Structure 1
């Protein structure tokens, strides 16, 4: 309404298109009063099982609804988890920040605790740490780091976020993932109980600029 009535100026020019893109450093005025963008929001969520990383309920409830985090229409998930996977999820309304997390070039480590159906073998560890070709993929995965916790439990660090990647990686070694939990992304370590959320500190927000 304000734009159609020529009440908005961007960099001293009258705005005529409601779809025009503006940036933080643009000078925007409404009826002569300067407007400022509100600060972006950044949250860590401990995702429980049985919910999806979506803004809306589908076959499973939205993770935002499951943990009671409002403002879900403005937020999106940076690096989704499957409905049955638990652990660390990041939510924000800052698209550039979330892109820096999800693109493989950033080499942003994601650490998972994996419970397997069968004991892991030395050959499987070598395959995972070398990188392996997943079904339907042309290129091998980036080399992973494997820390053996027990015969059927490992800590796996990866640097990508392909569809069902961890489950597909172990399937390629002849094993099956029984339970999957993400406990860390870059320098952000999960430190809240299942179903809880908290705002990120500025130090945590800034850690992705150097990953």
Structure 2
């Protein structure tokens, strides 16, 4: 195994970062400083040290996380709490989030130390589908759905979105569904008049532009008030996970994702 791969899969840092550590003389193999990232080592018998501490090989790891709203998808932030704040009992060095979710978006977020896995899932040309459940102020008629499915402009001078899938679950007026909708996002509802049209459903996209789901629905007159990612490729969010909880992916789940890409 390459030395840089060993370090990346042992939670020392991402592949690019550990190459820098190696070149700067921070890594020893069997007591000798090695500055070549591509050097081959035996992960079972060689003793690898980083900054004087022996590194234990952990291998590739994959976490499923149920992200709550209100947290930034980043390792650290000067103002807001981040998704990494939920992993205090885990060594997250070298482990990173796969893609990202907006601060107010909930649901399925993956973490790994497998750079190739991340690249394959997020690479636009792979067309990996991601499905989101939404509640929005507004309504969706047949023409709106057709636009979303065929591709729609979501910004001045922007190209059409790739074809999407839309499945409307419920539509009507707010007073019919107010007990099902997340109250914290409903500051735009006039509490004296509950005749605001609302709609819920699932939108499946295969790309990842900034705020894409919200912008697509806004382009057909809908204002998203709740958004949750429920699947990536063939992997569904484990609904038994409470918000803020995580677990390792099973081998079956990993294989589902690998089949996707």
The count of residues paired between Structure 1 and Structure 2 equals 201
1:179 and 1:71 mapped to 2: Cα distance? Answer: 32
1:24-70 CA-partner distances (Å, limit 9, x unpaired) = xx63269x936685311110000011111111133221112146563
Match of 2:134 among 102, 108, 114: 114
8 A contact 1:8–1:29 mirrored in 2: no
Q: Which has more helix, going by share of residues?
A: 2
User: Alignment RMSD, CA only?
Assistant: 2.8
8 A contact 2:235–2:257 mirrored in 1: no
CA drift of 1:176 comes to 1.1
Find out whether 1:201 has 2:214 as its counterpart: no
CA drift of 1:209 comes to 2.7
Find out whether 1:171 has 2:171 as its counterpart: no
Find out whether 1:21 has 2:34 as its counterpart: no
CA drift of 1:203 comes to 2.0
Aligned in 2, Cα 1:63/1:126: closer, same or farther, shift over 3 Å? same
CA drift of 1:129 comes to 0.2
8 A contact 2:28–2:34 mirrored in 1: no
In terms of Rg, which structure is larger? 2
2:252 and 2:157 mapped to 1: Cα distance? Answer: 36
Find out whether 1:56 has 2:103 as its counterpart: no
8 A contact 2:22–2:34 mirrored in 1: no
Q: Where in structure 2 are the equivalents of 1:1-211 lying within 5 Å? A: 8=29, 16-17=34-35, 20-22=36-38, 27-28=40-41, 33=46, 37-66=57-86, 68=88, 70-136=90-156, 138-151=158-171, 152-191=199-238, 192-211=241-260
2:250 and 2:82 mapped to 1: Cα distance? Answer: 24
Structure 2: stretches of 5+ with no match in the other structure: 1-20, 49-55, 172-198
TM-score scaled by length of structure 2: 0.68
CA drift of 1:173 comes to 1.4
